[in-house]
Amino acid sequence: MTASLDILRGAWRNPRGRTGALILLIVALAALVGPVLLPDPLAQPDVLGAGRPPGLGHPFGTDQLSRDVLSRVVTGGRISLAVALLAVTLSVTLGATVGVVSGYWGGVIDAALMRLVDGALAIPRLFILLLVLAVWERVPVLALILLIGATGWFATSRLVRGEVLRLREEGYVRAAEALGARRRRIIFRHLLPNALGPLLVAATLGVGDVILLEAGLSFLGLGIQPPTPSWGGMILDSREVMISAPWTGIFPGLAIVITVLSANLFGDALRDAVDPRSA
């Protein structure tokens, strides 16, 4: 655990990492608190207020249904972040499990699992998700989270497997085995804590990827379903009014850019802290 604290501290010392972390905190805070302070994004106060450009009262303007774009961006952020965090938690857990099983047990299990991963990696994640999600007329949020999570662990499992293969030859793991430590103890006390750094990096970078992926799916109509606001869905809606009301699409896109960029900056700083050679 101290090792991962060191990594976090190292990333914090990196100016770009610190910027990323701070922006990410602000975004998370806005998503958490914002919906309470701002007008209800589903409320449509007046028909005459539709398509208003950014100005006083509506800093980001209003959309074609006279809804406040700022409050929709903030509420959409809450949903996008929640989906990303849950999906990434799931895929990191799956990746770590498969990686440890594959790396520590080896043999036939390892070979079978890694062939499966090879095959899965040959189909771009987007296409797997399109195929599965297309069966729903309206995709349930839970299914979206589970499926994004279930399709994101392939690369992580390889990473963890590699770490485990390296670590199990280390003296202290050998010593623990010689002392008769149980498998569970070796995995949870020796292998996983030492693979935590790369996992942390994968998770942070994964958050950015998943936000982009979810936005893309919503843009294709396969993600978060209207009227629930989502960043990708808002951009989809703005397609028809891009010429008359471009702000309805520009602001949700900027929200994605800022969030993903800060997640990636922080992820990079974490990676540099884990492996200083890559700096």
Give the span between the Cα atoms of 148 and 224, in whole angstroms.
12
CB of 70 to other proteins, least distance (A): 17
Given a contact cutoff of 8 angstroms between Cβ atoms, the answer to whether 184 and 197 are in contact is no
3-state SS assignment for residue 170: coil
CB of residue 204 to other proteins, shortest distance in Å: 13
CB of 209 within 8 A of CB of 48? no
What is the amino acid identity at position 256? I
Nearer to other proteins, 7 or 133 (CB): 133
Residue among 191 and 202 whose Cβ is closer to other proteins: 202
Q: In whole angstroms, how close is the CB of 89 to other proteins at the nearest point?
A: 21
**Minimum CB distance to other proteins smaller for 93 or for 264:** 264
Closest contact distance (angstroms) between CB of 119 and other proteins is 3
* Residue 19, number of CB atoms within 10 A of its CB: 15
Smallest gap, in angstroms, from Cβ of residue 108 to other proteins? Answer: 15
Rg of the chain over Cα atoms, rounded to whole angstroms, equals 22
Of the pair 19, 44, the CB lying nearest other proteins is at 19
Beta carbons within 10 angstroms of residue 267's beta carbon:
23
Q: Closest separation between CB of residue 2 and other proteins, Å?
A: 29
For CA atoms 215, 251, 31, 36, give the dihedral sign.
Answer: negative
Burial class from Cβ neighbours inside 10 Å (0-12, 13-18, 19+) for residue 251 reads buried
Alpha carbon separation from 83 to 31, 95, 144 (Å, rounded): 13, 18, 8
Where along the sequence are the contacts to other proteins (CB under 8 A)? 16, 115-116, 118-120, 122-128, 130-132, 134-137, 208, 212, 215-216, 219-222, 232, 235, 238-239, 242-243, 246, 249-250, 252-253, 256-261, 264-265, 268, 278
Rounded CA-CA distance 116/249 in Å is: 39
Name which of 191 and 270 has its Cβ closer to other proteins. 270
Would you say 72 or 190 has its CB closer to other proteins? 72
